[in-house]
């Protein structure tokens, strides 16, 4: 299984409606994975990270079951085969 | 259980000359229109359900009929969108266009104000944002740039966020003096440029700041809103965090005009479209208790430039009405007599079609209202249903993520007694 990024519903309009995007190359890090995603779907990345390239405060990115906030953020290493999930945090009002 | 997909609301179908109300709430945007008599309103919404909409504007310059809106998601950030068919379809640029440049080191938190420029500059647009900054576009919103003059102002580093965040919430383009503009940030206060935004000068003289050691500092005031008179643009009214003021010189000096209001604390403020001596405010009890005093929902109106204010209460609840009207939730239209509108944190939208003399509840049960803007529909023609979506528009909606299927439901706002 290659590296697959799971796209949350609110961002699928910016990914041609896809709920998962399979990356063509194996990225080294989560940042690399998002960069490859941005090359195809820039609207997704701009809503996951800020202008400063930081993951938005109420968005979580998981590699497998591990939240990258608890690892090395965008520098978190990515296995050769895995799912990277973009999920909105349980925040709101 | 997965959530059901929300059906997109239908567009509104105004005719030329109809009044438009753009009502931003914490959970989406509502669009209303009424004919010039303003007896019955039709409403559509929520557009952008679940997203807060602190800024909206209608732009009829250069043959447009464009509604601008700034939905903001706690998760995915803020963006500037537009509709050219009264809400039938919305264009959401793939990459948000209002964004801080790398060198700024800042991140956009919210868009608080969308201000079309003057009629003779039909492609000029301005946005006030959080953190406090001014963005400008000279190509009708295709591209935006950060106003460097204000961003590099030496005061900016000392501006402090108020309760709503560090936001630039007021953008007033002077219709008579080219290059002049007044903006206000909370906290920081009022600033004015006379050279098209290259340099900015603080304009807080006479405005107090009770939360500072020096009650009259050069800057740092918590200005809540400023209203400008279009016919006499040097005439400004200012609702401060404690203090109600008037300026007759474009902000060079301010005079306390809290003469007869129950409190000089508040947010909601609107001027009159023609008469420079008329303005409307909704006083709140205090900064600790931000509700209407005595449980009475009262709009105070001055007809003499603030020398006195009268409570306008006909049609408004005068018992148990602990309401809050926030800084951008009050507006006037440009008709004669002027219509006055305000929304509350409790989701009630009130309208007056006689300059505050009487009021009607136009909509109830909305999410908390944070923004009320008006416009006069133009470039539509008299054809009813001109904005009905067709197959092509449904396809466009599909591209922007809203479901294309579903029966369209028109919602008519009940007419208040």
Which position has the token pair 């699928």? Answer: A12
Cβ count near B214 (within 10 Å): 9
CA-based nearest distance B27→chain A, Å: 9
Give the tokens for residue B202.
């603080």
Looking up residue B316, the CATH number of its domain turns out to be 2.130.10.10
Least confident of A10-14, B141-145, B241-245, B406-410: B406-410
Q: Which residue has the higher pLDDT, B389 or B9?
A: B9
In our burial notation (b when 16+ CB lie closer than 10 A, e otherwise), range B140-156 reads bbeebebbebbbebebb
Q: For tokens 């509104």, name the residue.
A: B12
Q: Is it the case that residue B398 has pLDDT exceeding 60?
A: no
Residue A68 to chain B, least CA–CA distance (Å): 16
Q: What is the pLDDT of residue B404?
A: 38
Q: What percent of chain A has pLDDT over 90?
A: 95
Indicate whether B50 pLDDT > 60: yes
Looking at chain B, the whole-number percentage of residues with pLDDT higher than 70 is 90
pLDDT at B406 over 90: no
Domain assignment present for residue B201? The answer is: yes
| pLDDT for B358 beyond 80 | yes
Q: Are A49 and A34 in contact (CB under 8 A)?
A: yes
A12, A92, A93 ranked by CB distance to B401: nearest: A12
**pLDDT confidence band for B357 (50 / 70 / 90):** very high
Please check whether residue B334 is in contact with residue B285, taking contact to mean a CB–CB distance below 8 angstroms.
Answer: no
Its ipTM equals 0.90
Q: Cβ separation of B94 and A42 shorter than 8 Å? A: yes
For chain B, say whether A90 makes contact (Cβ under 8 Å): no
Q: Do the domain assignments include residue B408?
A: no
Counted across chains A and B, CB pairs separated by less than 8 A come out at 54
Dihedral (Cα; B155, B74, B170, B177), 10-degree rounding = 90
User: Virtual CA dihedral for B89, B90, B95, B98, nearest 10 degrees?
Assistant: 160
B379 is a domain residue: yes
Over the Cα atoms of chain A, what is R_g?
12
Q: What's the CA gap between B6 and A88, in Å, rounded?
A: 18
Q: What is the pLDDT of residues B82-134, one digit of tens each?
A: 999 999 999 999 989 999 999 999 999 999 999 999 999 999 999 999 999 99
Q: In the prediction, which pLDDT does A90 show?
A: 85
Q: Do A51 and B26 touch (CB under 8 A)?
A: no
The pLDDT of residue B202 is: 98
Instruction: Answer yes or no: are the C-beta atoms of B309 and B302 closer than 8 Å.
Output: yes
Tell me: pLDDT of B389 over 60: no
Instruction: For residue A17, give the chain B residue with the closest CA.
Output: B401
DSSP H or E run through A31: helix A30-40
Token readout for B56 is: 């909206």
pLDDT single digits (tens) B216-273:
999 999 999 999 998 999 999 999 999 999 999 999 999 999 999 999 999 999 999 9
Which pLDDT does position B162 carry in this prediction? 85
**Best of B5, B8, B75, B79 to mutate (most A CBs within 10 Å, chain A):** B75
The residue assigned the tokens 């040097």 is B234
* pLDDT, tens digit (0-9, with 9 covering 90-100), for B294-350: 999 999 999 999 999 999 999 999 999 999 999 999 999 999 999 999 999 999 999
Query: Chain B partners of A10 at a C-beta cutoff of 8 Å?
Result: 73, 75-76, 401
Select the residue of B74, B94, B100 nearest A51 (Cβ to Cβ): B100
Domain contains B5:
no
Q: How far apart are the first and last CA of chain A?
A: 38
Q: What residues make up the domain containing B219?
A: 19-402
B127/B392: higher pLDDT: B127
Check CB contact under 8 Å for B96 and A46: yes
Indicate whether B317 belongs to any domain: yes
CA B101 remoteness from chain centre: 25
Q: Phi, psi at residue A75, to the nearest 5°? A: -90, 0
Structural domains for chain A: 3-88 (3.10.20.30)
Evaluate the CA torsion angle B54, A91, A14, A9 in order and state its sign: negative
**Structural domain total, chain B:** 1
Query: Distance between CA atoms of B341 and B270, rounded to whole angstroms?
Result: 9
Chain A residue whose CA is closest to B397: A13
Question: Residue B78 is encoded by which pair of tokens?
Answer: 């803020």
Residue B388 — very low, low, confident or very high, per pLDDT cuts 50/70/90? very low
Longest dimension (CA), chain B: 62
On whether residue B4 sits in a domain, the answer given is no
Query: Can you give the pLDDT at residue B417?
Result: 26
Q: Distance between CA B35 and CA B45 in Å, rounded?
A: 19
B94 touches chain A (CB under 8 A): yes
DSSP assigned state of B47: E
- Asked if B157 has any chain A CB less than 8 Å from its own CB, the reply is no
- Report if residue B315 sits inside a domain: yes
B26 contacts in chain A (CB < 8 Å): 93
Q: Omega of the bond prior to B201 within 30 degrees of 0, cis? A: no
- What distance in Å separates residue B181's CA from the closest CA in chain A? 28
Q: Is the pLDDT score of B79 beyond 90?
A: yes
A42 contacts in chain B (CB < 8 Å): 94-95
The position carrying tokens 């209608």 is B58
Does residue B73 have a cis peptide bond before it, meaning omega lies within 30 degrees of 0? no
Cβ count within 10 A of residue B319: 8
Residue B5: what pLDDT? 66
Q: What three-state secondary structure class fits B295?
A: helix
Q: What's the confidence (pLDDT) of residue B382?
A: 67
| Euclidean distance between CA atoms B192 and B198, whole angstroms | 10
Query: How far is the alpha carbon of A2 from chain B, nearest alpha carbon, in Å?
Result: 27
Q: Among B306, B197, B326, which Cα is nearest to B254's?
A: B306
Residue B405 has pLDDT above 50, yes or no: no
Contact with chain A for residue B26, Cβ under 8 A? yes
Interface of B with A in 209-248 (CB under 8 A): none
pLDDT reading at A81 higher than 50:
yes
What number is the average pLDDT over the span B9-30?
97
Cβ-defined contact of A58 to B75 (cutoff 8 Å): yes
Instruction: Over range B180-204, report the average pLDDT.
Output: 97
Residue B385 pLDDT exceeds 90: no
Q: Give the N- to C-terminal CA distance of chain B in Å, as an integer.
A: 41
For position B108, what pLDDT does the model report? 97
Which pLDDT score, from 0 to 100, does residue B413 have? Answer: 47
Across the interface, of B102, B107, B400, the residue whose CB is closest to A13 is B400
* A53 touching B (Cβ < 8 Å): no
Cα(A82)–Cα(B403) distance, rounded to whole angstroms? 31
Chain A residues within 8 A of B107 when measuring between CB atoms: 50-52, 54
Distance from CA of A73 to the nearest CA of B (A): 17
3-state secondary structure of B245: strand
Specify if B7 maps to a domain: no
Quote the minimal CA–CA distance from B401 to chain A in Å.
Answer: 5
Q: Which residues pair with B135 in a beta bridge?
A: B127, B146
Spatial contact of B285 and B292, defined as CB atoms under 8 Å apart: yes
CB pair distance less than 8 Å for B94 and A43: yes
- HSE at residue B241, side-chain half, CA atoms within 13 A, is 25
Does residue B142 have a pLDDT over 90?
A: yes
Local structure of residue B93 (DSSP, 8 states) = -
Task: Note the pLDDT of residue B146.
Answer: 98
| Closest by Cα among B132, B128, B113 to B22 | B113
Q: Could you read off the pLDDT of A9-49 as tens digits, one per residue?
A: 999 999 999 999 999 999 999 999 999 999 999 999 999 99
Average model confidence (pLDDT) across chain B: 91
CB contact set of B143 (below 8 Å; sequence gap of 6+): B97, B137
Which pLDDT score, from 0 to 100, does residue B8 have? 86
Residue-averaged pLDDT of chain A: 94
A27 close to A33: Cβ distance less than 8 angstroms? yes
CB contact under 8 A, A52 and B107: yes
Distance from CA of B251 to the nearest CA of A (A): 35
């Amino acid at each position: 299984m290659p590296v697959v990024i799971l796209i949350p519903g609110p961002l699928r309009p910016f990914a041609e409606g896809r709920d998962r995007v399979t990356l063509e190359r194996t990225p080294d890090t989560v940042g690399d994975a998002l960069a490859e995603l941005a090359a195809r779907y820039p609207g997704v990345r701009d809503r996951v990270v800020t202008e400063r390239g930081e993951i938005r405060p109420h968005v979580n990115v998981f590699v497998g079951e591990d939240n990258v906030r608890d690892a090395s953020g965008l520098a978190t290493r990515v296995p050769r085969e895995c799912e990277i999930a973009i999920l909105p945090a349980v925040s709101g009002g | 259980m997965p959530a059901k997909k929300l059906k997109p609301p239908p567009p509104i179908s105004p005719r030329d000359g109809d009044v438009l109300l753009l009502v931003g709430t914490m959970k989406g945007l509502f669009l209303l229109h009424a004919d010039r008599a303003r007896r019955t309103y039709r409403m559509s919404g929520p557009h952008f359900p679940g997203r807060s909409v602190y800024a909206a504007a209608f732009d009829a310059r250069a043959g447009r009929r464009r509604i601008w809106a700034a939905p903001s998601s706690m998760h995915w950030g803020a963006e500037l969108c537009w509709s050219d068919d009264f809400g039938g379809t919305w264009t959401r640029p793939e990459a948000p266009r209002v964004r801080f440049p790398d060198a700024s080191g800042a991140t956009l938190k919210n868009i608080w104000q969308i201000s079309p420029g003057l009629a003779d500059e039909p492609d000029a647009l301005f946005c006030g944002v959080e953190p406090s900054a001014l963005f400008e576009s000279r190509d009708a919103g295709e591209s935006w740039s950060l106003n460097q003059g204000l961003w590099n102002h030496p005061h900016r580093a000392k501006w402090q966020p108020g309760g709503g965040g560090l936001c630039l919430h007021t953008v007033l383009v002077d219709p008579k003096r080219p290059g002049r503009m007044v903006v206000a940030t909370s906290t920081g206060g009022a600033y004015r440029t006379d050279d098209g935004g290259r340099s900015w000068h603080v304009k807080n003289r006479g405005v107090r700041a009770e939360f500072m050691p020096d009650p009259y500092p050069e800057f740092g005031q918590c200005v809540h809103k400023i209203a400008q008179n279009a016919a006499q643009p040097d005439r400004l009214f200012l609702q401060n965090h404690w203090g109600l003021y008037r300026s007759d010189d474009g902000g060079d000096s301010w005079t306390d005009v809290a003469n007869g209001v129950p409190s000089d604390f508040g947010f909601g403020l609107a001027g009159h479209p023609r008469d420079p001596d008329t303005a409307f405010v909704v006083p709140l009890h205090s900064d600790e208790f931000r509700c209407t005093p005595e449980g009475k929902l009262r709009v105070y109106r001055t007809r003499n430039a603030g020398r006195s204010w009268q409570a306008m209460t006909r049609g408004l609840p005068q018992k148990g009405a602990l309401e809050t009207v926030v800084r951008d939730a009050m507006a006037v239209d440009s008709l004669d007599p002027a219509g006055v509108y305000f929304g509350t944190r409790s989701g009630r939208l009130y309208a007056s079609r006689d300059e505050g003399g009487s009021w009607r509840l136009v909509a109830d049960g909305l999410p908390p209202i944070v923004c009320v803007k008006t416009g006069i529909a133009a470039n539509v023609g008299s054809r009813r249903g001109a904005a009905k979506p067709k197959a092509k528009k449904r396809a466009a909606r599909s591209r922007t993520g809203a479901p294309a299927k579903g029966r369209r439901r028109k919602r008519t706002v009940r007419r208040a007694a």
